[in-house]
Amino acid sequence: MVMGRHGPRDLLAGLDAGALGSGTRMEGGAMKAVVYEDVRTVGVHDVEDATVEADSDALVRVSSSALCGSDLHMYDGRTGAIPGLVLGHEPLGVVEHVGPAVETVTPGMRVVVPTHLYCGTCHMCARGLSASCLRARPEGLGAAYGYAGMGPYRGALAELLRVPWADANCIRVPGEPGDEHEDDFVLLADAFVTGWHATTLADVRPGDTVAVFGAGPVGLLAAYSALLRGAREVYCVDGIDARLDKVGELGATPVDFRRGDPVEQIRGLRARAGFPLGQEKLSGVDKVIDAVGFQARDRDLTDRERPDQVVSDAARLVNPAGAVGIAGVYPQLDLDPRPGATQDGQLSVPWGTFFGKGVTVRFGRTHDRRYTTSLRDLIVTGRATPGMVVTHHGRLEDVPRLYRHLDRRDNGVVKAVVSP
């Protein structure tokens, strides 16, 4: 395993678009993929090769695929994942084959593939609401790769990935696999785009004060996005040293909830810094982002979950007429609900506090189509380097161990990227 974005990259060294584009398949038309086996158990298996199944498909040979904290909801047995599911939804790679109806994507093209696949032409996609595509999943709105309840699409922790509606879902990026932007571009599949989406949900504007709860990859990149959007001060709350260190590296202020109530810590930090003239009553923050979701830790009993913890903190901290953006996952199905939660996802929420303060609350999955190309261009021009949150690199065979570390929040694993 290779650790650190700027450390040795021998796992990716020597790969180029031509070599990946002509990659060999295993005997019998099989490929390696990471498969869900049971609660907290995944394995690397030989599965049937991904293929072009429809005229509008592309087949992408994956050069990098990132592990995501939202996979842990399946890994922990909370969302009904079925054994045999190929996991992963953050791929970067090179197009190997295309169907006859594909017009703008060609073999040899380097592409990033957004997590939420979409048709690109339905009523919702035409409005830029691609996470709610009407065609990708007949039994519901929207779809995703390798995710329980989000359609039949196999995941991207694999050597090959079938990409439906390739003209819409393959986002071209420059360069070659293994170059200096490999970690940056792979985060366009999900983490960077979701972090930016969180700041859109919270309506972060220049001069705002912002608090982000959760310093996993999405929380870190939400804090980073808030700074890119001109926030004057960004606080990021977590209780894991490796994550809090990353907060400081990004230019935000780390807040360790192990040292006390994070709401009061942030109020104290603001007071010591001094409030702008006439704003002394606004001791909270203008915008709050929840990047944790339903598996938040109880502040008083840290070995237990409290699914409404961050929502309650947000209600206390947000200033009057402020906004709260919720990017953390709150599922409609929780097979193992904790105290205060139900199997159907219902929670007690302090609506009275939100109403009394006149707060806007928005949440939901990321509409990738709105952001991916703009954020790609920020990377290309050097304005954004989201890959700085990546801490670990490996191969597919490293994934079971990396998931264990992610689940336990140990060994310094913040964001891991593997190369099939």
CATH at 305: 3.40.50.720
Residues 104 and 18 grouped into a single domain: yes
Residue 176 is part of a domain; what is its CATH number?
3.90.180.10
Provide the pLDDT for residue 78: 85
Residue-wise pLDDT tens digits, 67-118: 999 899 899 988 889 999 999 999 999 999 999 999 999 999 999 999 999 9
Does 372 have pLDDT greater than 90?
A: yes
> How many domains is the chain partitioned into structurally?
2
Residue 266: inside a domain? yes
Residue 373 domain-assigned (yes or no): no
Q: Supply the mean pLDDT for the chain.
A: 91
Residue 12: pLDDT band (50, 70, 90) is very low
pLDDT: which is higher, 20 or 393 = 393
Instruction: Tell me how far apart the alpha carbons of residues 113 and 109 are, in angstroms, rounded to a whole number.
Output: 12
Instruction: Give the pLDDT mean for 56-65.
Output: 98
Residues 178 and 154 in one domain: yes
Q: What pLDDT was estimated at residue 18?
A: 31
Answer whether residue 20 shows pLDDT above 60: no
Model confidence over 149-162: pLDDT tens digits?
Answer: 999 999 999 999 99
pLDDT of 340 reads 67
Band (247; pLDDT cuts 50, 70, 90): very high
230 with 355, same domain: the answer is yes
Is the domain of 76 the same as that of 130? yes
Q: Are residues 19 and 112 in the same domain?
A: yes
Does residue 221 share a domain with residue 313? yes
**Do 180 and 326 belong to one domain?**
no
**Does residue 134 have a pLDDT over 90?**
yes
Q: Are residues 264 and 335 in the same domain?
A: yes
Q: Does residue 372 lie in a domain region?
A: no
Mark whether 99 and 227 lie in a shared domain: no
Q: Given the structure tokens 């690109």, which residue do they identify?
A: 120
Q: What is the pLDDT of residue 9?
A: 34
What residues make up the domain containing 161?
2-190+384-418
Query: What is the number of alpha carbons within 13 Å of residue 4 lying toward its C-beta?
Result: 3
Q: Note the pLDDT of residue 295.
A: 87
Question: Residue 80: which residues within 8 A CB-CB, separation 6 or more?
Answer: 148, 149, 333, 335
pLDDT (mean) for 26-47: 88
Question: 375 lies in a domain?
Answer: no
Are the beta carbons of 33 and 397 closer than 8 angstroms?
A: no
Residue 41 included in any domain: yes
Q: Report if residue 40 sits inside a domain.
A: yes
Specify whether 177 is located in the same domain as 217: no
pLDDT of residue 375: 98
Q: Are residues 298 and 394 in the same domain?
A: no
CA distance 192 to 373: 12
**Residues 142, 13 within the same domain:** yes
Residue 271, CA distances (Å) to 223, 304, 418 in order: 21, 31, 43
- The pTM (predicted TM-score) of the whole model is 0.90
Pair 186, 91: CB distance under 8 Å: yes
Indicate if the pLDDT at residue 25 is higher than 50. Answer: no
The predicted pLDDT at position 21 comes to 34
Asked if the structure places residue 374 within a domain, the reply is: no
Amino acid 24: pLDDT: 34
Is there a domain that residue 216 lies in? yes
The predicted pLDDT at position 1 comes to: 38
pLDDT at 11 over 70: no
Q: What percent of the chain has pLDDT over 90?
A: 80
